[in-house]
Amino acid sequence: MGLGTVAVTGAAGTIGSAVREALGREARRLILLDRVPLRREAENEEIHTVDLRDLPAVEVALAGADRVLHLGGLPDEAPLPDLLQANVLGTHHVLEAARRTGIARVVLAGSNRVTGFYPVGHRTGPHEPVRPDGLYGVSKVAVEALGQLYADKFGLSVICLRIGSFERVPTEVRHLATWLSPRDAIGYVRAALTAAPSTRFATAYAVSANTRRFWELPDPAVLAYVPVDDAELHARDIPGAGLPSDPDAPQAGPYALPEFTLEHLTP
C-alpha cells in the first residue's frame, strides 16, 4: 500500500525529524506541521506553522492528507494544565480535523509511560489496564481514549504507538529494555500508516527487539513489523548493565518517583 499524502504533526521534534526523510522518499506529498517554523527541504514538502490548539488552522493544514502521523505535544512531565492543552486538546483537534476532512488513518504517538507502574518482571501487553507513572502518562492515557472514541463513534482508523525510549543508541540501564532505535521507529511508523484499512483501533508498543524488554511486541496480524535492533549489543558500553535488576521495581524507573511529579504540582 502506498503512503499517498502524509501529514506529520510535531515535525520539528526528535522523532518527527527522524521520520521526515524516510517518509518523504515514499509519500507523494508530505505535509509538515509544527508550531516552530520549518524550512522546506524537498519538492514534495508542504510546511505549516500551526499551534495544535487552533482547530481551524489544523483543519486547513490537514486538508488533502490521506494519513496523519500525530507526534505533536509536550514530550515529558509538566504541569497538568499544560499537558491537557498540548497533548489532550491538541490530539482532539487532530482527530476532529481528520473526521471533518475525511482522513482515513490517524497514527497517534502514545507512550510506554501509560503502564510505567507495572513491575520490571512483568511482560506487559497493550490490553492490560493502564498504570501511568505521572501526569505525562495520564495525558497519554487520554490520547489513547480519544483515539478509541473517534474509532468507535466516527469510524476513523486509529493506531496508537506506545513509543519506547527513542535514542540513537541506548545510554542507560533502563534503555536495555525500553530502547527504540531510529531504524525500528521508522519501521513501526510505516507499518502503522499502511496497516489494513479494516483495522479500526489498535494499540501497540513500539520498542526494539531488546533481549531485556518488558513489553510485548505487536501482534503481526495487527501491525506487520518485526523490530530488528537489540539494545543488548550496546550493554558493554553502559555502566551497571551487568548488575541484577529488581523484578518488583517499576518499569518507569526514575519516572515513577514522587519527586518526578511533585515539582510540577501547583503549590
Tell me what pLDDT residue 1 has.
56
Q: Could you state, in order of their start, the residue ranges of all structural domains in the chain?
A: 5-262
- Specify the DSSP class assigned to residue 1: -
Tell me what pLDDT residue 267 has.
72
Tell me what pLDDT residue 2 has.
77
Distance CA 250, CA 116 (A): 6
**Among all residues, which ones are annotated catalytic?**
136
Our CA angle for 100, 110, 123, nearest 5°, is: 140
For residue 139, the one-letter residue type is S
CB 122 within 8 A of CB 214: yes
- Residue 227: CB atoms within 10 Å: 23
Note the Cα 102 to chain centre separation in Å.
22
Distance CA 132, CA 252 (A): 9
Per the DSSP assignment, residues forming a β-bridge with 122 are: none
Tell me what pLDDT residue 266 has.
76
Residue in this structure with the C-alpha cell 488552522, named with its chain if needed: 57
Q: Is 267 exposed, middle or buried (0-12, 13-18, 19+ CB in 10 A)?
A: exposed
CB-based burial, 59-92: b 16+ in 10 Å, e otherwise:
bebbeebbbbbbbbbbbebbebeebbbbbbbbbb
Per-residue model confidence as pLDDT tens digits over 1-19 = 579 999 999 999 999 999 9
Tell me what pLDDT residue 225 has.
97
Per-residue model confidence as pLDDT tens digits over 182-200 = 999 999 999 999 999 899 9
Per-residue model confidence as pLDDT tens digits over 107-123 = 999 999 999 999 999 99
Residue in this structure with the C-alpha cell 488513518, named with its chain if needed: 105
For residue 254, the one-letter residue type is P
Closest CA to 62 of 247, 179, 255, 54: 54
Distance CA 189, CA 208 (A): 13
For residue 176, the one-letter residue type is L
Distance CA 231, CA 135 (A): 28
Which grid coordinates are listed for 205? 508498543
Q: Which residues of the chain have pLDDT under 50?
A: none
The architecture CATH gives domain 5-262: 3-Layer(aba) Sandwich (3.40)
Write the CB contacts of 140 (distance below 8 Å, at least 6 apart in sequence): 87, 110, 111, 113, 114, 132
Where are the strands (E) in 50-200, listed by range?
67-70, 105-111, 157-163, 165-166, 179-180
Tell me what pLDDT residue 42 has.
94
